[in-house]
């Protein structure tokens, strides 16, 4: 649980970022060391539930890729068997700091047969309004015919229930790294206008970052 006022000012020796992002970042919400430790803890929870199974992870690109990499690395250390697939889906578009409500799922080349009769864990970077999952979960259930579907997310944003889709309220993430306040954050795979995925820590974007035209 990350409190509403938990973001801290950056330290030059601890919080490293490309020089071209100077002025774009407001405060650090979650430091990389805390993210790494939480990846280990979430991996242990998954291992406890699937020790005698081989779940299929569906990594939602692009945002979840960094979390997925570190999570599965920790599962390897625990000798947990698994397989994985990648799927591209998004409810954000371009230079927006709020979800559009329109979800794009690129599933044309996705091998749904790999999910049939299997325990599926969808790996997300962040769950806020639940718009992406409300579209994605039914697609996976209909075309993949898995035995079960669970959600593992790095971040779960605390927002008003009326903004969260009712379908997803009934299907909360079984595994969540951090509960965070309702702020637009980036880094560790999360982007704004396709920038900032290459940050080690998770940051709150600054006004200058929001107004940046995306040309580096």
More confident residue, 1 or 144: 144
pLDDT category, 195, cuts 50, 70, 90? very high
Q: What is the per-residue pLDDT across 162-180, written as a single tens digit (0 to 9) for each?
A: 555 545 544 579 999 999 9
What is the rounded end-to-end Cα distance, in angstroms, of the chain? 34
Asked about 4 being catalytic, the answer comes back as: no
Pairwise CA distance, residues 202 & 63, whole Å: 12
Q: The tokens of 23 are what?
A: 């002025």
Given 26, 49, 125, 128, which residue is catalytic?
128
Can the peptide bond before residue 80 be classed as cis, meaning omega within 30 degrees of 0?
no
């Amino acid at each position: 649980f990350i409190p509403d006022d938990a973001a801290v000012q950056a330290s030059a020796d601890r919080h490293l970022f490309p020089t071209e992002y100077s002025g774009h970042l407001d405060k650090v919400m979650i430091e990389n060391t805390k993210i790494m430790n939480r990846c280990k803890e979430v991996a242990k929870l998954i291992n406890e539930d699937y020790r005698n199974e081989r779940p299929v992870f569906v990594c939602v690109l692009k945002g979840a890729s960094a979390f997925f990499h570190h999570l599965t690395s920790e599962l390897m250390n625990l000798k947990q068997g698994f397989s994985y697939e990648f799927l591209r889906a998004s409810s954000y578009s371009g230079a927006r700091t709020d979800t559009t409500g329109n979800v794009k799922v690129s599933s044309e080349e996705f091998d749904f047969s790999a999910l049939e009769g299997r325990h599926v864990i969808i790996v997300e970077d962040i769950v806020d309004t639940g718009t992406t999952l409300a579209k994605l979960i039914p697609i996976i259930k209909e075309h993949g015919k898995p035995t079960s579907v669970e959600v593992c997310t790095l971040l779960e944003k605390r927002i008003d229930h009326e903004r969260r889709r009712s379908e997803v309220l009934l299907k909360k993430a079984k595994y969540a790294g951090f509960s965070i306040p309702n702020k637009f954050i980036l880094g560790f795979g999360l982007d704004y206008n396709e920038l900032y995925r290459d940050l080690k820590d998770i940051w709150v974007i600054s006004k200058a970052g929001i107004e940046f035209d995306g040309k580096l």
